[in-house]
Structure 1
């Protein structure tokens, strides 16, 4: 009896189920964080299969909390215009590559896999790059590149100084920077879930790119179509203040074949842009496609007068390696 008793008493907990052998890549239409089923309120940031998100916060009235005028500070005795110039110098007017991703353990001691924020200041200006292939930050934006030292936004600690400083600097941070989201289709969805609504609603400039695969009909086709339309829904719900947007579609040129060139497919693809154009006064709305898809898109766009304000441009980007099966999509 005694040996069995001690075996039960000191019996170790069984390990959890092993992770699946496959990995849902960030560029999959079913990547973690895109759909509600893969998110968990107040979840564990060490669980790669559930994106940890916060519960919806109750909106607070701007007058619900007393503000200190901070008149004892020389900074806050300056005119608001001067303070804004200081914030711009510290953390505004830049082009930022951002990601929220599952980071694998590094070589550092006590390094654990977890969900992790990452950003760098781009080597280019704060505008759109004429051809995205020239953006070396995007080309080298893999996970290995994320672990190398790169310029960051400085002085963000200022956001903790006081309520007035937080509100003034936060506006500059999100309104004046171009937020670049490279390759992974999941990034815009993750940002909309992780950022507080008051921050997401301040963002005005975005440069987004993601991989698109063209394959035959099937489950993958349905997944891509649902994700594609959900992507446009983000700008109605979360990114309502974005007025300058570029979307780069990374379509493998090796798949640019005549069987995909049809008016029906092209109009189905471009239809969501019509609703996006109607929703706000865009300063710039740009769709960027690989060079050998450009003529087809231009022809379809010309048959849709409601898309006249949509700027269509081409890029020399190419990928001759083909696309994996989980990129499958046909329209």
Structure 2
């Protein structure tokens, strides 16, 4: 039996090393491939909501009821991303919320070590940012702070970023108005996820602005899609945008920019987002096409 330090007490605590547990048939008789199938059946292979929302009963030490909660999405892994973003999700309501049962992870250290990668590698984590209450970069940074050890293990992430009509904070949320710095910071945060290999993101922004054909070379499509190139580990990337953005550039031009990213499957899709209800930015807002840092 190996002696392993207990970081909480500072004392030496004898425990079974992760490569033992020979008394358990699960670890002594089943090969790792079968154990992985069992763990995946228990708490993997699902689409999981992550949402910063009020807790129905408890507040934290400073009286804040809002906290990160999770729930299994009613859409399976096989459901297309277009279908996921097209509907309203009620998966986290009290009557419909289902949580991942990860009790198996806490039975022993070996189960924890074998199960954690499956938990974060096999599930798709879905973050919906709608209503412009928080910047998406704040959501990403908050999740990083919430689970600093495990956040870097996530391989598949889906994000629905929808700017609410007539929201007073709209200009600060929209990259081509006053929200470019926050948008760039959002992609910088994603670039710090070393295991992220599959990203699907819906950018449901206001109606596309009129683009001056004589504008500077840094154009709308570069503003929205250029930062994707910072994510070096992506193998699959899908971006959904309102169909009105096709008026600025043709489909081939948008797709050619996605094609710059080699070594993976990249595609852009167009959704019939009701952007006509979203008013233009405030009179003081301007459309920025300057390179980053200017």
Normalising by structure 1, we get a TM-score of 0.64
Cα contact 2:242–2:271 (8 A) shared by 1? yes
Matches within 5 A, 1:220-299: 224-237=179-192, 239-252=193-206, 255-259=207-211, 264-266=218-220, 267-276=222-231, 279-280=232-233, 282-294=234-246, 296=248, 298-299=251-252
Distance 1:285 1:220 in 2: 20
Structure 1 residues 247 and 110, CA gap change in structure 2 (3 angstroms): closer
Cα contact 1:133–1:315 (8 A) shared by 2? no
Whether 2:36 is the aligned partner of 1:84: answer yes
Shift of 1:275: 2.8
Structure 1 residues 153 and 86, CA gap change in structure 2 (3 angstroms): farther
Matches within 5 A, 1:1-331: 67=17, 69-77=20-28, 78-101=30-53, 103=54, 106=56, 113-127=64-78, 129-132=80-83, 135-136=86-87, 139-140=88-89, 146-184=92-130, 185=136, 186-197=138-149, 199-212=150-163, 224-237=179-192, 239-252=193-206, 255-259=207-211, 264-266=218-220, 267-276=222-231, 279-280=232-233, 282-294=234-246, 296=248, 298-301=251-254, 304=257, 306-307=260-261, 310-322=266-278, 330-331=287-288
Identify the residue that residue 3 of structure 1 maps to in structure 2. none
- Of the two, which has the highest radius of gyration? 1
Deviations 1:27-76 (A, max 9, x none): xxxxxxxxxxxxxxxxxxxxxxxxxxxxxx9xxxxxxx861521222222
Shift of 1:202: 1.4
Distance 2:122 2:286 in 1: 35
Structure having greater relative contact order (Cα 8 Å, sep ≥ 6): 1
Structure 1 residues 169 and 223, CA gap change in structure 2 (3 angstroms): farther
**Structure with more of its chain in helix, by fraction:** 1
Deviations 1:200-243 (A, max 9, x none): 121111111213589889x9978621211111112232x11111
Cα contact 1:132–1:317 (8 A) shared by 2? no
Distance 2:175 2:219 in 1: 16
Aligned length: 251
Cα contact 1:287–1:312 (8 A) shared by 2? yes
Shift of 1:188: 2.3
Identify the residue that residue 30 of structure 1 maps to in structure 2. none
Shift of 1:135: 5.0
Distance 1:133 1:163 in 2: 36
Distance 1:318 1:265 in 2: 23
Q: Is the partner of 2:52 in helix, strand or coil?
A: strand
Deviations 1:102-141 (A, max 9, x none): x16x4x59996423232221222214624246654xx135
Please identify, of 151-160 and 124-133, the stretch whose mean Cα deviation from structure 2 is larger.
Answer: 124-133
Normalising by structure 2, we get a TM-score of 0.71
